[in-house]
Copies of this chain bind each other. A is one copy, B any other.
Amino acid sequence: MATLPHHLGRSLAEALRYVAAWKGRTVVVKFGGSVLDSPSLGTLPQDLVLLQQAGVRPVLVHGGGPEITRLLERLGKTTRFVNGLRVTDEETMEVVEMVLAGRVNKHLVTLIHRAGGRAVGLSGKDAALLRARKHAPGVDLGLVGEVAHVEPKVVEVLLDAGYLPVVASLGFGPDGVSFNLNADSAAAALAVALRADKLIVLTDVEGIYRETPQGRELLSELTPEAARTLITEGVVSRGMIPKVEACLAALEGGVRSAHIIGGEIPHGLLVELFTDTGIGTMIRKREPEA
């Protein structure tokens, strides 16, 4: 810690206050980037393990886009995207499932294990954790689904036994058909079902920015209303929209706060959780005045 014990002591006191506050609370972390390209993972595995050792109950939810594309290409299969969503036929779905549940998921489990934790990988199909139905936005996207119901018990059983659950965003459709789920909204739905206190979405930017005459400004705290206005005004755009919407869905479902933070800052997860200022953008309802 910095050189002056005076500052150090004060920082520790602040951090311990947060440690006490988060003890026993569930925090769902969503990580979407490429795993094999491990620099983007940064200190995530280590941070999750530290969180768990400090008494927090972390759950990791992940997607795995780039890896899927890579395998599809090797198999000579081209993908069509409609509004940013991959049209998923049966053969594609097989590949999605193998990559998410068999490759990305087990790689994350391994990295957490190396950092000293005991992770257990699940997909939304295990114990029918994430029940899904077809996503039907007007065009037929094939096996793209949305979460219909979450049965969170298996995650709670594993947390209670001291394991760190890692969940691949696959859904269990009618008759056991597999569905491809958006990982941001899967994480939000799981956070709601677990009555989590926080949803933290890791991205490749550091949070939500606004352009000002003085340059770009990171917004460190927003109300849900303000976040919706930013979408309407186009300040939040493209890839950031589904992330913000997942945050809003989590808040509506009772999660206390939702965060969008940069995944590459070393120990960013810890800084966001254990300091007053944090590093990214937190969305939270305004508390009624006492």
Contacts and interface: CB of A to CB of B under 8 A. Distances in A.
Interface string A53-66: 11100000000000
B163 A127 contact: yes
Interface string A78-104: 000000000000000010011111110
Contacts of A71: 98
Give the interface centre of A17, A126, A271 by most chain B CB atoms within 10 Å. A126
A79 B101 CA distance: 24
A125 B101 contact: no
B13 A50 contact: yes
Interface string A145-177: 000000001100110010100000010100110
Nearest to A55: B55
Contacts of A14: 1
B17 A15 contact: no
Contacts of A94: 103
Interface in A1-34: 1-2, 5-17, 19-20, 23
Interface residues of A, number: 74
A170 B121 CA distance: 13
A7 B16 contact: no
B113 A118 contact: no
A178 interface: yes
Contacts of A157: 157-158, 161, 163
Nearest to A121: B126
Given A1-B7, A102-B103, A106-B123, A12 B271 contact: yes
Nearest to A36: B94
A111 interface: yes
Given A5-B279, A17-B53, A121-B126, 9 more contacts: A5-B265, A10-B267, A19-B54, A20-B50, A106-B125, A106-B170, A118-B128, A119-B126, A154-B161
Closest 7 pairs between A and B when the two form their complex, measured CB to CB: A102-B102, A9-B267, A20-B53, A2-B2, A98-B102, A1-B11, A110-B176
